[in-house]
Structure 1
Amino acid sequence: MTYPPPPLTGPHDEPLPTDPLAVALGNASLLGAGYLLMGRRALFWAAAVITVALVWMTAAVAATWCELVLLLWWAAVVAHGVRLARRRPRGPRLGQRLLALGLTVPVLLAAGLLRLDAHGIEDDVTEARGGGDCEAVTAAQDRVWFGHRVAAAPVAARGDTAVEACERLDRAETELATGLNGDPNGLRSGFRLLASVLEDPADEKTVQASLDRFLGRLPTGDACETVRITDWLHARTPARNVLDRSFGTASRLAPAALAGCGDDLMGERSWSQARARYERLLAEYPDDSRADRARQGIRKAVLAVELERVEERVRATHGMTSGYCAEPAKYSGAPARREGTDRALFLGDDEYTGKLPDGWRTTDPKKAALVVCAGLPDFGRPVETCPYRDDETQRITNVTFRKVAVPVKVYELRTGKRLADRTLQIDGASCPQLFLTYGSAPSNKYVAPSGSDVRDAFSSLIKR
């Protein structure tokens, strides 16, 4: 076998007698020691530069192919060193071999131990991920140092990926916490982050742990806020993964949240919104133990709305053509009509209704069975005509005394139905011996009703 002529060397790159095995062992350290044994300093520096570049690339890229490239480079420099050594005179064997072993064995031993330790750390990270414990994942990965990243870069990188996933889960929990505090975008952002981490099946348990911590904070102290959250969870598109556990939690918490929200809204006098929550509870969870409570809540809300409407119209009443008298409304909680005297709300002109007994009147719609609207009084039917002499003119005038005509409308408060629309005729004393007047005597004058006369006139409206 023939070999090409040896390369030209400079005065400071003189080939030395070497042992091929020693050269192989020296180059196996990736430190270029074999080239130094041959006196090939230029090759030593070139190999060193390439080795450093490959080691840096392996640590930076952390891909298996980088390790394969580094392995091929290791094999190449070993083979190249042996090939060059065989073309040189044989040198002392033992001393060169011991020197080469002294360099290579520590390097290879350190690399092997670092790889072994890196795999042990990876096992701890994997175990922590399987247990859903992100704190343990981070603690295990914190043991990784530069040596691990050089000797077992892909293994260390997988741990970094697990830690990065835990960091995203931490951000997800922060977003979900804002969702619990009223930020509608927090739930959306949090679940989006959870879904992105879940793309790696190895993170299923850590995602589940984060989700469980979020769900464990439900219900919130605000029942209506809990309703908003459970509604959002129900509206999610099923993903057929661990995130769908939220549906069960939402279904479990929603009935109590709807009932509690209805109660809170009742306390805030938001009757219509409260009724809507109770009705949702009955529609969506008809068999829930809170169904009777919801029915009672609906009844209370309906009565509250009716009562509020009645009170508004009563306050707006200034006569027969305004407020309740113009637009009556029902209050289903009003007392039913009964035998005897019903209490009534007397609205409109109170010249005569103000003289009725206290037991007949009330200002509280919750205690009234009737609403009586009274208009302005006018002359009613004639009772008696009497002659009167004017003291100054001695002129005699016939004065007709007439009953007091009071137009009234009567409504049953419980139903809002009109029971009567007529004019009351209030009787009273007529033809007194004297009466004062300004100017000439009037041709018509009201009788003088007594308290009993007023009661007699109005009793027909409120007594059964």
Structure 2
Amino acid sequence: MDDPTHTPGPGRPPGEQPEPPGPPRSTPAPCDPVAAALGNASLLGIGYLLLGHRRLAALAALGTVFLLGLTASAAAAWCEAVLLLWWTAGTSHGWFLARRRARHAVRRGQRVGTLTVTVAVLLSAVLLRVDAYGIEDRVREAREGGDCEAAVAAQGEVWFGHRVAGGPAVQPGDAVVAACHRLERAADTLAAGRSGSTEDLERGFGILAHVLEEPGNGQTVRTVLDAFLGGLPTEDACATATVAGWLREREPTGDVLDRSAETAGRTEPAALLGCGDDLMNGDKWQRARVRYQQLLDTYPDDARTERARGGVRKATLAIELEEVGRLVADTHSASSGYCDAPAKYSGAPPHRKGLNRALFLGDSEYTGKLPDGWRTSDPAQAALVVCADTAENGDAVETCYYENKRHERLPHEVTFRKVRIPLKVYALRTGERVDPREVQISGTSCPRTLLYEYRIGYDFGPGGDEFVSTTTSGIRDAFTPVVKR
């Protein structure tokens, strides 16, 4: 049944139903430009959220995060300038977007909320920036005072917020901390160098020199250097002598490191003398003499020079005595060891008038029968070194005629001769050869019976020359001119 009240519209066929009406178009809510601007001034994109632009809000937040990270890592003024432009652009954009809306309204709640957030953000940034400059001041003061420990502790208070709000302020502190860490490594290396390691000294001073090239590190380098120099001298005199010698010979650089030369002059003389004494006590005479001589050559006016001269003399005597002892130990005949290459021992008793005790080397067949008072086995007690060679035929004493009882038709003439012993006699104090060059030992000759060794096919009696029969007194008489002047 048709609706009598319905009248078809123009152009609509009779009987056709009209289209249902669509949903009413929404009208944008009134906005507050001030709230939008304040919201974006927080750098969090809150103004875009108030305007309903969620994508813009997300982009604003991501952009802020990126710029904050860049500012914290780069710590450069241009990054802060970019961040300020980003803040200005976001605030202005929020204001203009809101102003384009047809309807405006004052939203006190939004204004208070956005103002609170923005003020909190900006106030935090200001406070962090002020704190960053305060930290930078403390780091600078600590470095100027040479206190690396305080500088590192102050810089340790820096966190991400400080780097965002005041990156350029705290960034120099990172360089200070890096320099302090290098100085700490230099201090450890120099401490190891106190043991006498010149390699560690080279490395330690090299680190100090490189840190000193960076402006502002003079006092911190001085502190490390003073701590190292203050540890000298050490208990080890030889290590101290090595360190002081290295410091003295170091090439001057015209900076604070040259102060080490003063410490060398203060510590080296006593260290050289003490090192020489320690080496002498350890029977290291060659090295001891070198240390004593260094003191004499480098510090001739030092009060310790007389003791050093005594040390040189003592070390020299010990070296000479050691060499004589070695040569004596290597002597097995009159042509080996000391007898072949004599050496002097300046501490030996002088070769003087009267009895001179001797060190007898070589063939001991006859010298072994000399009185004990003439002999010594200690080179330090000997005035002479007597090298006895193998006995030879000496002057003829008497010729006798002997009959061979085994072969009666073979008589034999035998000439009895003194026992001649070639000698090399040296004055131990000088190592020079002295007379006599030989001795001849007398004895009895022409015994009634002469025993000999018979060897079939070779001989039938004694040789033509025979030694006289020696006695202990005869041997002593022969050697008396050797040991007595």
TM range (shorter): 0.7 to 0.9
Shift of 1:456: 1.6
Shift of 1:386: 4.3
- 1:357 aligned partner: 371
Q: Aligned ranges for residues 108-123 of structure 1 at < 5 Å?
A: 108-123=122-137
Secondary structure, counterpart of 1:303 in structure 2: helix
Q: Which has the larger radius of gyration?
A: 2
Q: Aligned ranges for residues 12-161 of structure 1 at < 5 Å?
A: 14=28, 16-20=30-34, 22-88=35-101, 89-92=103-106, 94-161=108-175
Task: Decide whether aligned partners of structure 1 residues 29 and 446 sit closer, same or farther in structure 2, where only a CA change above 3 A counts.
Answer: same
Q: Aligned ranges for residues 400-439 of structure 1 at < 5 Å?
A: 400-438=415-453, 439=460
Shift of 1:405: 1.6
Post-superposition Cα deviations, 1:52-96, rounded to whole Å, max 9, x if no partner, equal: 221111112122221222123223333444444555554216444
Q: Over aligned residues, Cα RMSD in angstroms?
A: 3.0
Aligned pair 1:447/2:463, yes or no?
A: no
Count of aligned pairs between the two proteins:
453
Aligned pair 1:459/2:459, yes or no?
A: no
Shift of 1:42: 4.4
Flag as ranges the 4+ runs of structure 1 deviating above 6 A: none
Shift of 1:361: 0.9
- 2:20 aligned partner: none
Matched to 1:113, the amino acid is: L
Residues 48 and 57, structure 2, Cα contact 8 Å, conserved in 1:
yes
Matched to 2:266, the amino acid is: R
Task: Decide whether aligned partners of structure 1 residues 98 and 126 sit closer, same or farther in structure 2, where only a CA change above 3 A counts.
Answer: same
Matched to 2:69, the amino acid is: W
Matched to 2:111, the amino acid is: R
Counterpart CA distance in 2 for 1:175 and 1:61 is 33
Task: Decide whether aligned partners of structure 1 residues 14 and 141 sit closer, same or farther in structure 2, where only a CA change above 3 A counts.
Answer: farther
Counterpart CA distance in 2 for 1:12 and 1:174 is 76
Matched to 2:433, the amino acid is: R
Shift of 1:247: 2.6
Matched to 2:116, the amino acid is: G
Normalising by structure 2, report the TM-score: 0.83
Matched to 2:423, the amino acid is: V
89-98 vs 332-341, which moves further: 89-98
Gapped regions of structure 2 (runs ≥ 5): 1-24, 454-459
Identity percentage over the alignment? 56
Which residue of 142, 166, 171 maps to 2:185? 171
Secondary structure, counterpart of 2:422 in structure 1: strand
- 2:257 aligned partner: 243
- 1:311 aligned partner: 325
Post-superposition Cα deviations, 1:320-379, rounded to whole Å, max 9, x if no partner, equal: 322222222211111112221011111221122111111111111111111112222222
Counterpart CA distance in 1 for 2:68 and 2:478 is 112
Gapped regions of structure 1 (runs ≥ 5): 1-10
Matched to 1:427, the amino acid is: S
Shift of 1:414: 0.9
Normalising by structure 1, report the TM-score: 0.86
410-419 vs 371-380, which moves further: 371-380
Counterpart CA distance in 2 for 1:55 and 1:311 is 84
356-365 vs 313-322, which moves further: 313-322
Matched to 2:474, the amino acid is: D
Counterpart CA distance in 1 for 2:413 and 2:199 is 87
35-44 vs 143-152, which moves further: 35-44
Post-superposition Cα deviations, 1:106-152, rounded to whole Å, max 9, x if no partner, equal: 11222222222222333332333233333323332332233222222
Residues 196 and 240, structure 2, Cα contact 8 Å, conserved in 1:
no
Matched to 2:130, the amino acid is: L
Residues 16 and 37, structure 1, Cα contact 8 Å, conserved in 2:
no
- 1:3 aligned partner: none
Task: Decide whether aligned partners of structure 1 residues 55 and 14 sit closer, same or farther in structure 2, where only a CA change above 3 A counts.
Answer: farther
Which residue of 199, 209, 212 maps to 1:195? 209
Counterpart CA distance in 2 for 1:121 and 1:141 is 7
Matched to 2:469, the amino acid is: A
